[in-house]
Structure 1
Amino acid sequence: MSKIKDGYYSAIYFLKTANILKNERPNDIVTMQFFQREENVILAGVDECVELLKTEASNPDILQIMALNDGDLIQPNEPVLKITGHYYQFGYLEGIIDGILARQTSIATNCHRILQVANNKPVIYMNDRSDYYYNQENDGYAAKVGGITNFVTTAQVAKLTNNYEPMGTVPHALIQAFNGDLIAALYAYQRFYPTDKLVALVDYNNDVITDTLKVATEFSNLYAVRIDTSQALVDKYFHGKEKQYPIGEINGVNKHLVSALRQALDQQGYRHIKIIVSSGFNVAKIRDFEKEGVPVDIYGIGQALAKINIGFTGDAVQLNGVDQAKFGRHNIVSNRLVKK
């Protein structure tokens, strides 16, 4: 028996309930529905839940499973999954199903909402550094459901079709290994990975514009530069100019720094070099950047995509075909559900 069927991942009260009903009410048929409470949510994880039921429920062939599909836009209190059968066949999976739906739907929705404000600009899914590594395969799938197509680990693309390849830039660690010499680090990178698009991480010395122009002069094939300045820092470009800007506006990766960098590149004839930004970006910050026309070409986002902010609830709502549920809950009729 698998760990799931053995109840290893199930709350003990579900297991005890299943045991009681198997012995006390073995012929009863229940319907359980799953829903959430947020508006305009991108559903993900329901396909995995259906597969879970078909492999880990008891006698799954006699269950009736009705569900929506991954990628569907859903609304508050809309059922996304309904299961009908003996409680002891599937009741112990309730918490697992809630968890799958909550995680994957949250990530898919986070990605969708970021893309909605990013003005059709590419977004790199950098969530590997924000969560437990075991989650990367399913998280990558959920991110793709939400519309993301750029990933940084092999695990994140493992469940995707169309042969996605992970992408990335030079990390700070490589620059550090060359005693802070960005040029030397990039030459080493290029020697080992000559077919990769060359992307320079230019905030190591907290002097983004100076280092960008050095790199652009040295490498005619430079594709992009990435700014990853900590919010705790103010780039050297602003030294002596602090009073020209409102307090807090020149910390980290900010609109003034990005605009100054774009202007410097353009003035030197490097209009083709793209600007990638990362560190602390979320829906609000990207919306602000896009509203003000900050010249970003690509966003790299991690932590904002990892937040689990959409919860699901499973309720038993019918008993032997008759409505029966806790106060405040009821069987919700939906013509969108399809048999699985």
Structure 2
Amino acid sequence: MKNKFNIDLRIFEDYYSADYFKKTREILSKFKPNQLVTMQWFQRKENTVVCGIEIIKEILRLSKIKNLKVEAVDEGDIVEPLEPVLKITGNYNDFAHFEGLFDGILSRASTVATNARKISIAANGKKVLNMNDRMDYYTNQQVDGYASTVGGIKNLVTYASFEYLQEEVELNGTMPHALIASFNGDLIAATKAYKEVFPNNNLVALVDYNNDCINDSLMVCNHFKNEIFAVRLDTSPNLVDKSLLKLKEKDNELHGVNPTLVKMLREKLDLNGHQNVKIIVSSGFDEYKIRYFEENSVPVDIYGVGDAITKNKIGFTGDIVLIDGKKQSKFGRENTFSNKIKSIKYM
């Protein structure tokens, strides 16, 4: 069977295991070789979308360890603080080295899945682009793309993000500022070149290069007319677009991509016959900013989200809670039951 998640097989050589887990296994191999333990994993935040269970099942399958009883919630289930998401019962020596590893898998994947769900809900069904590739170490793209999809954001921008997904790759990208810079700041020339090389792509113009989003949007839409699919605003939070400079500002509400700018852009596009051109916004968007835009009926069609995908880290902890079927655990970490957890097969 294919190694679906491309697990680095060095995990079975303790390459990624903390030294104290390896030493504990050696000690127990000598003094408690037949001890049967139950370990459970949990976290402490409300409305957490659990992700990583399928990856853990794949690791256990590849490990070829037999005689483990594994119980878990379903991938994508929502759990509350202290609610167990995974339990493994067996000889501790067989899986001791996986304790920290599984903590990390659940933490990373569930963080991304939970953030994706919150952002997706805030966007009220509008399309969200996961643009986190530029905000994190590149080897995280595979698991982040998978977890993002579990959480509800399926619009990804790199091939690596689709590696763990059983679906056709459909990249969602626009032009970067570097393309416009390469044409000496000429937005028309850059857009024309993009269209010529990728004639079957949706034509999306990035319009904040000159910090003049409204005029540049009208310029590019008037030039390419109905060929333009969307314009994207990516104004930095420390800037005020030229079209807003004459307005009075309180509390920086005119900085960056803001409701006033987007509403004005929509109005100008419509007045000039570009009602079908969509508006994409990015730069500093998270669930709170998206919710604010939606509550104020800002005419955004697509949101681009970066580091908000991996913020608000969710930490998981694995603890022994039973030894030979009897209660034994750190204070406050007792064996806990959940009607969501069920026995699963991993072989």
TM score, norm. by length of structure 2: 0.94
What does the per-residue CA deviation read over 1:132-158, in whole Å, with 9 as the maximum and x for residues that have no partner?
101111110000000012111111112
Aligned mates of 2:309, 2:152 — CA distance in 1:
12
How many angstroms does 1:337 deviate by?
1.9
Aligned pair count reads: 336
Equivalent residue for 2:305, pick from 290, 301, 308: 301
1:271 aligned onto 2:275: yes
Equivalent residue for 1:15, pick from 11, 18, 22: 22
Equivalent residue for 1:92, pick from 67, 80, 97: 97
Equivalent residue for 1:181, pick from 170, 186, 208: 186
Find the counterpart in structure 2 of residue 103 from structure 1: 108
What does the per-residue CA deviation read over 1:64-120, in whole Å, with 9 as the maximum and x for residues that have no partner?
111112111111111111001111100111000000000000000000000111111
Aligned mates of 1:111, 1:74 — CA distance in 2:
15
Q: Which of 109-118 and 61-70 deviates more? A: 61-70
Find the counterpart in structure 2 of residue 124 from structure 1: 129
1:34 aligned onto 2:41: yes
Find the counterpart in structure 1 of residue 54 from structure 2: 47
Equivalent residue for 1:329, pick from 328, 333, 339: 333
SS of structure 2 residue aligned to 1:123: strand
How many angstroms does 1:161 deviate by?
2.4
Aligned mates of 1:209, 1:18 — CA distance in 2:
64
How many angstroms does 1:308 deviate by?
5.2
What does the per-residue CA deviation read over 1:220-264, in whole Å, with 9 as the maximum and x for residues that have no partner?
2100000000011111001222x2x32301111011100100010
Find the counterpart in structure 2 of residue 211 from structure 1: 216
Find the counterpart in structure 2 of residue 5 from structure 1: 12
Kindly provide the amino acid, as one letter, of the partner of residue 175 in structure 2.
Answer: V
Provide structure 1 residue ranges, at least 5 long, that are not aligned to the other structure: none
Report 1:162-173 matches (<5 A). Answer: 162-173=167-178
Find the counterpart in structure 1 of residue 3 from structure 2: none
Aligned mates of 1:336, 1:284 — CA distance in 2:
30
Aligned mates of 1:123, 1:148 — CA distance in 2:
6
SS of structure 2 residue aligned to 1:60: coil
Find the counterpart in structure 2 of residue 227 from structure 1: 233
Find the counterpart in structure 1 of residue 77 from structure 2: 72
Aligned mates of 2:55, 2:199 — CA distance in 1:
39
What's the C-alpha RMSD, in Å, of the aligned pairs? Answer: 1.3
How many angstroms does 1:60 deviate by?
1.5
Aligned mates of 1:240, 1:136 — CA distance in 2:
42
Aligned mates of 1:283, 1:169 — CA distance in 2:
22
How many angstroms does 1:27 deviate by?
1.0
1:238 aligned onto 2:257: no
Find the counterpart in structure 2 of residue 316 from structure 1: 320
What does the per-residue CA deviation read over 1:155-174, in whole Å, with 9 as the maximum and x for residues that have no partner?
11122223131111111000
Find the counterpart in structure 1 of residue 159 from structure 2: 154
